[in-house]
Structure 1
């Protein structure tokens, strides 16, 4: 996809103030993790738009939580790359930087086939179950038109190959770009008329991985990542 036109959010065009949007209250036991989960979902499904300010007092009141767990939650999301904390200004929803996304795509096209190759000995038994569970999560998200769940399944699918590779540097690279990739996918998935198309893309990729043909896997990953960036 081109990172213009219907991808204006990725390029950070305009800043919307989400002051009138309500997310709460949180009814279950309140911890920094539960607060982070609520905010993460709101960011990934577009309820909270890129670059919008995250005003602590308003959000704490809206969610019915104290500011201490909220601040910890914002720290968690900052570590994930979903929130930018700016000194003396506060916290803002991060934007997916177009240049960085293109750089990530270039790395993924070259490194993900290697991660898959290294993961192959473990893509049986528990390793394959993990990948299949990610596909199932994507499918459940698509069935319910749940963008956040679909994205989490999408991320889990690809993350599995890096972690099953047991290559520390590859795993570190994945975690270094994961937040930006999540933000990009939250916009990218909205371009699909049907979220089941996302599932079908990954079923196709897994079928090719199952052949063990490294050349075919590399070609499919090039197409898979290229389509995410150029199609649309």
Structure 2
């Protein structure tokens, strides 16, 4: 992933030839933007509208007319908090993967069995078995920028960056799985082969 160029929702980074560089969507308007854009038939147009409205509030000109809404959407990044569901500690530059609906259900079921002390009943794969499944390179959606084990929280925690479009896909998946507050991914440290389930939360 190219380096993210931080930008408040009022701006984006435009190269001289008009192409957009990756940019970070952040600031107090982000929750409203996410809520509105995620429910629109044309999320890209909604994002462009919100950004121009934010620019107007700051007495800035609208984004250049050559900035296409689709390109703006494609290059937008969001910062997320990453919480491991079980053991382990995410490290800097760990890889963040999406999971399909079936795998998400298996991780959720395994975690539920562990919390209830039912891991030895053999009713489906446990978290250790699931962590051994080799991830597909096509499933990469982002990277951890800062990761560690939080002594105060007693669990692995990280800060990462993923594309805005992938964040919206995670929200849709959570709604399909009827757990709208739980955006499930899996994380793999660079020098490890195992993947661990994690949930992400939007930072702004």
Q: Same fold (TM over 0.5)?
A: no
Instruction: Give the TM-score normalised by the residue count of structure 1.
Output: 0.29
Structure with greater proportional strand content? 2
Which has a greater percent of helix?
1
TM-score by length of 2: 0.32
